[in-house]
Amino acid sequence: MNVKIESSWKEALKDEFIKPYFKKLADFVKEEYKSDTVYPPPNRVFAAFDNCPVDHVKVVILGQDPYHGPRQANGLAFSVSEDVSTPPSLQNIYKEIESDTGKIMPKHGNLERWAKQGVLLLNATLTVRGGSAGSHQGKGWEEFTDTAIKYLAENKENLVFLLWGSYAQKKGELVNRHKHLVLEAPHPSPFSADKGFFGCRHFTKTNAYLIMHEREPIEW
């Protein structure tokens, strides 16, 4: 199957594209786009990979689903396009960055600037039906994105995995903590941010680790 995805990821994940589950997943997603409103737009489904080639990855931030509201999802976890209001979880991420680093965050929620610096903003499920959270879970995306996480965990060293909330933290089982830094906190959503996300200081901790391993820190 010819999947349009950044070339280094296409090579890393090539075995997935020929597996029966992926063919079934691709057929399901195509039908969903034909029959319903699905986010993100088709050309943004693999945006997390397209904006952050394998050898550029320094940090992995895991989300669950794309945003399911109109025009919100742009293929990067927690991110929205510049003409869309910043969602509450990202507002809380920005608050923690400002508290942690002193840097004032932009008024928009487009995180492509992070991706270009080596932050893989990966949702476990890469598509969703409009207005229906979780509607594309259990269709095969999780197997695909787990493989991407495992590939990085096994083939790279000294990456930082930021796991916010119980769903992301379960993915931490795929990561060797002797080779990588895994930082965990409650999810930044308004329901849980004050239970330990605020004050986690993950952003300065990430940069301290990158600097210790002679890598460029992230300009959050």
**The pLDDT value given to residue 203:** 98
d(CA 70, CA 203): 30
194 is catalytic: no
What are the chain's domains? Answer: 7-213 (3.40.470.10)
Closest CA to 66 of 117, 13, 110, 130: 130
Q: What is the pLDDT of residue 219?
A: 98
Q: At residue 2, does pLDDT exceed 90?
A: no
Looking at 15, 36, 50, 65, which residue is catalytic?
65
**Rounded distance between C-alpha atoms, residue 12 and residue 97, angstroms:** 32
* pLDDT tens string 115-128: 999 999 999 999 99
Question: Which of the four pLDDT bands, split at 50, 70 and 90, describes residue 43?
Answer: very high
In the predicted structure, residue 1 carries a pLDDT above the cut 80: no
SS (H, E, C) the chain: CCCCCCHHHHHHCCCHHHCHHHHHHHHHHHHHHHHCCEECCHHHCCHHHHCCCHHHCCEEEEECCCCCCCCCECCCCCCECCCCCCCHHHHHHHHHHHHHHCCCCCCCCCCHHHHHCCEEEEECCCCEECCECCCCCCCCHHHHHHHHHHHHHHHCCCCEEEEECHHHHHHHHHCCCCCCEEEEECCCCCCCHHHCCCCCCHHHHHHHHHHHCCCCCCCC
Tell me the per-residue pLDDT of 15-29, one tens digit each, with 9 for 90 and over.
999 999 999 999 999
